[in-house]
Structure 1
Amino acid sequence: MKVTVTSRGDDVSNTLKRQIEQYLLDFGLYINEEEPDLVITVGGDGTLLQAFHDYSHRLEYTAFVGIHTGHLGFYADWIPEEVEKLVIHIAKTPYHVVEYPLLEVMIQTAEEKEYRHLALNECTVKSIEGSLVSSVDIKGDTFEIFRGDGLCISTPSGSTAYNKALGGAILHPSLASIQIAEMASINNRVYRTVGSPLVLPQHHTCLLKPLNDVAVQVSIDHFTPAFNQIKSIQCRVADEKIRFARFRPFPFWKRVKESFIGE
C-alpha cells in the first residue's frame, strides 16, 4: 500500500508526522506523496480539508484518515497516543471505506470562462462591499431574489460548520444533498426570501446570478480564488465523493454531541 502523511505544520504535528512515517516504513509500507492509496493527516479538520483539495484529482483512488493534535474534529478521529495502533491497522487490517457527498461549484464569468471546483464543506457567496442582490434559481426556475450579506451552500458533512452558525440544519453525511443558508437577508416589499434554509436533493441544481453591480467574492471551503465579473454560480451534488478509511466506528451523531453538547 502507498501512503503519505501531511501535517498542519506546527512542531507537535511535524514530530508526529515523522514518527508515523517511520512506523509505516518499519511495517513495510511505502511512502508515496504523488499517488497515495491512503492519506494520513496530522493536525485537525483544516489539515484534512487541505489534503482533500491537494488530492481532489484522484478521489476515486485515495482514501483519507485524520489524526487530531488539537480539539476533536469531525474528520480527524484518531489521537496522537493511538498512532502505533493506527499504523498496525493500516498494515494488517483491510479498512472499511465510507463515502461522503461533495459540492460541485461551476463559476461562469462575463468573459464566458467557466471554472469548476469541489468543496468538502461549503461554498459561500458574498459581496465585498454593500449588499449582494442575486436571483436564486432551483431546477431552472427562479425561486427568489435574495438581498443581504450573502449565501452559504454546504454539504451534509459541512452542515456543522458555517452553515450551522447561520441557523442551518445539521444533515447526516449519508444524505446526498446540499443546503442553502442565508446570511442576513433583507426582506421588504421589493425583496422577499423564504427566510429558511433550503435542502436540495441530489438531482436538483441551485443557480445564483448576481444582479447588482458589486464585486462578488466566492469562497470554496477555506480558499478564496479570484474571479473577474462573475456571471453565475451553479451548485449541485458532485458526481465525485470523498472516501474515508474507517478502522473502527466513528458515529456522526456521537461527533455532533461531543462537539456541541458534551457529556
Structure 2
Amino acid sequence: MSSRTNLYLSYKRTNEMEELVNPLKALAEENNFTLVTNVEEANIIASIGGDNAFLQATRKTGFKQDCLYVGVSTDSLGFYTDFSIQDMKQMIHALQNEEVEVRRYPILKVTVDNEKPFYCLNECSIRSNVIKTFVIDVFIDDLHFETFRGDGMIVSTPTGSTAYNMSVNGAVVDPTLLSLQVSEIASLNNNEYRTLGTSFLLGQDRTLTLKVVQDGNDHPIIGVDNEALSIRHAKQLKLQLAEQSIKVLKLKNNSFWEKVQRNFIK
C-alpha cells in the first residue's frame, strides 16, 4: 500500500456530505495520503456513501484498471462497502497494516445494437416501458434458446446476484464463479411462449444475445446498475463478461458469504 497514496474521493457534493468527508480528508493527509481532484492521477478511489454510491463511482471513473477501489459507508455496511466513515481511524489502520486484501470483481459488458458498449458491475436489466408484456428471443452463443414474453429480464454478475436479481428469486452466486446469471421478470408461459422458467447461469466465455421482437412494444427501458440508458429504440442487446475486472480493497475478515449472512440471515 505504501506506493498507492494518491487518493480520489467520490461523493455527492452536498453540505451534509462535506461535513462528513472533511474529517476523512484531514485524517488522510495526516497519514501521508495525497488528495487528488483529477481521477486520472488517482491510484486509490474511495466511494463515500452506500452500495449505490460505489456503483456510480466505478461507472463515472470508467472502471479504472490501474487503481484500487474502496467503499466507505455513511450508514450500515453493504456488499461493496467494507469501511465506515464513523470509524475512519480503523480504515487508515487497516490500510497501513496490511489487514486488507485486493479482490477482483467481474464487469458486465453490454452492447446495444452494435454501438459502443456500456459496462456495469451489478446487472443489466431490460423492461417494458408500458403496462404490456414484450417478447425477446434469447440466444446463447449462436443457439436460439427460448422465446420470452413478460415484463423483462435481468442479467447479473456474481456480485450483483444479491441485488435486483435476488428480488426475482435468482440465486446468490459466489463471486469466485465467473458467470452471468439470467433471470426472468414475470414471464408468461403458455402454448405459444415457453421459457425455462427459472434463473440460469452461463460460463464466463458465453455470449448472451437478447433480440427484442418488433411488435409495437419495442421501446424497452434498459438499465445498467442504478442508471437507465437514454436509448429510445433497441433491437438487440449482447451481454458478456468483460475481459477486464476492477480491483477492490476489502477487509480480510469480511468475506462475501459473511456479508450475505449478515444482511439476510442474522
Report the AA paired with residue 121 of structure 2: L
Q: Any gaps of 5 or more consecutive residues in structure 2?
A: none
Provide Cα deviations, 1:79-126, integer angstroms capped at 9, x if missing partner: 233212212443564852100111110101xxxx61311111100001
- Deviation, structure 1 residue 200: 0.3
Deviates more, 1:115-124 or 1:247-256: 247-256
Which letter maps to 2:221? Q
Pairing 1:213–2:216 present: yes
Matched, 1:106 2:111: yes
- CA distance 1:3–1:92, shift in 2 (3 Å): farther
Q: Structure 2 CA distance, aligned partners of 1:104 and 1:97?
A: 22
Q: What's the secondary structure of 2:254's corresponding residue?
A: coil
Residue 257 of structure 2 is matched in structure 1 by 253
Task: Return the letter of the residue paired with 1:84.
Answer: K
Residue matched to 2:156: 154
Structure-2 separation of matches of 1:80 and 1:21: 11
Aligned to 2:140: 138
One-letter code aligned to 1:132: F
5 Å-filtered alignment, 1:1-263, equals: 1-8=5-12, 13-33=17-37, 34-35=39-40, 36-58=42-64, 60-91=65-96, 93=98, 95-108=100-113, 114-129=115-130, 130-211=132-213, 212-214=215-217, 215-262=219-266
Counterpart code for 1:261: I
For 1:27 and 1:70, the matched residues in 2 are separated by 24
2:126 match: secondary structure = strand
Give me the identity figure in percent.
29
**Counterparts of 1:229 and 1:47 in 2: how far apart (Å)?**
28
Distance 1:6 1:229 in 2: 32
Report how far residue 9 of structure 1 moved: 5.2
TM superposition shift of 1:247: 4.3
Residue identity matched to 2:199: P
Displacement of 1:174 in angstroms is 1.1
TM norm structure 2: 0.91
* Letter in structure 1 aligned against 2:118: H
Compute the displacement of 1:66 (Å). Answer: 1.3
CA distance in 2, matches of 1:70, 1:57: 24
* Partner Cα distance (1:40, 1:231) in 2: 37
Q: Does structure 2 conserve the Cα–Cα contact (< 8 Å) formed by 1:150 and 1:183?
A: yes
Retained in 2: the 8 A contact 1:44–1:73? yes
Q: 1:95 to 1:261 in 2, by over 3 A?
A: closer
The letter for the 1-side match of 2:49 is G
How far apart, in 1, do the equivalents of 2:253 and 2:243 lie? 26
Aligned residues: 257
CA contact (8 A) 1:16 1:42 kept: no
CA–CA distance in structure 2, aligned partners of residues 186 and 139 of structure 1 = 24
Q: CA deviation at 1:184?
A: 0.3
- For structure 1, which runs of at least 5 residues remain unmatched after alignment? none
Cα gap change, 1:11 to 1:174, in 2 (>3 Å):
farther
Moved more, 10-19 or 158-167: 10-19
